[in-house]
Amino acid sequence: NAGVTQTPKFRVLKTGQSMTLLCAQDMNHEYMYWYRQDPGMGLRLIHYSVGEGTTAKGEVPDGYNVSRLKKQNFLLGLESAAPSQTSVYFCASNHFGRNTEAFFGQGTRLTVV
Amino acid sequence: GNSVTQMEGPVTLSEEAFLTINCTYTATGYPSLFWYVQYPGEGLQLLLKATKADDKGSNKGFEATYRKETTSFHLEKGSVQVSDSAVYFCALISPGTGNQFYFGTGTSLTVIP
């Protein structure tokens, strides 16, 4: 009963370094999302995917790229990390439909120094 | 467009006090409404939801009623416990906007013994 799993849970990067955050879900959900959570700003959508091989921009996509090569996985990449990308990142997934809840991962705390 | 506005925190209450966290929304179409809870160091979990006007969602002693006439979905609990200390997020899904969730900024609740 894993649900949504994010790796890693913590990471410290130097400015300019790159990294990939992995999200995996085992509920056969069509939709997957990446959010960032910052104090006083709630959750802001970075990118999302409506199915394997598709991605779309959310509210704050700049500086991030994503890929969904398999239905169960959604990757978030930072090509050149900046201190402004210091945040807690959450992955979520759900089935299509207005009544369906989103299931969240435990989060990745990223610090860029 | 779609947006969620919830009362600013933080909120501090004594155990057994009455809780209200206000949430209002704007939406295109007929949204579904949700309350999520985030305990320290964890991801978001669904607390309750309502999918049509006058529906009441309830869980763990928390309740919220979908009020279309006032575009509100206020969260209430009659007697809070220390274990209710968390951040609470109001959210909506609206048809015509894909499957995207729109979140409020979150309200931090601390319950003191």
Query: What are A2-42's pLDDT values in tens digits?
Result: 799 999 999 999 999 999 999 999 999 999 999 999 987 88
**Closest in A33, A41, A94 to B105, CB measured:** A41
pLDDT at A101 over 90: no
Rounded to a whole number, what is the distance in Å from the CA of A82 to chain B's nearest CA? Answer: 23
Task: Look at residue B26 and give its three-state secondary structure.
Answer: strand
pLDDT mean across residues, chain B: 93
pLDDT digits (tens, 9 = 90+) for A76-86: 999 999 999 99
Which residue in chain B has the smallest CA separation from A97?
B99
Confidence at residue B98, expressed as pLDDT on a 0 to 100 scale? 66
Helical spans, DSSP H, in chain A: none
CA nearest neighbour of A12 among A97, A87, A72, A65: A87
Nearest to B7 by CA among B26, B21, B25: B21
List the structure tokens of B69: 């006439």
Residues of A in contact with B55 (CB under 8 A): none
Residue B43 to residue A43, Cβ atoms within 8 A: no
How would residue B78 be classed by pLDDT, with cut points 50, 70 and 90? very high
Residues 52-91 of B with CB under 8 A from A: 89
Rounded (10°) CA dihedral B10, B15, B17, B22: 30
Q: Is B22 exposed, middle or buried (0-12, 13-18, 19+ CB in 10 A)?
A: middle
Q: Which residues of A touch B (CB under 8 A)?
A: 4, 31, 33, 40-43, 45, 48, 50, 56, 58, 90, 92, 94, 96-102, 104-107
Q: Which residue of chain A is at minimal alpha-carbon distance from B39?
A: A106
B82 min Cα distance to partner chain A (Å): 22
User: Residue A61 in 3-state DSSP?
Assistant: coil
- Burial group, residue A80, by CB count within 10 angstroms (0-12, 13-18, 19+): exposed
Q: Determine contact, residues B102/B92, Cβ cutoff 8 Å.
A: yes
List Cβ neighbours of B109 (8 Å cut-off, separation of 6 or more).
Answer: B9, B10, B11, B12, B13, B19, B21, B80, B84, B85, B86, B87, B88
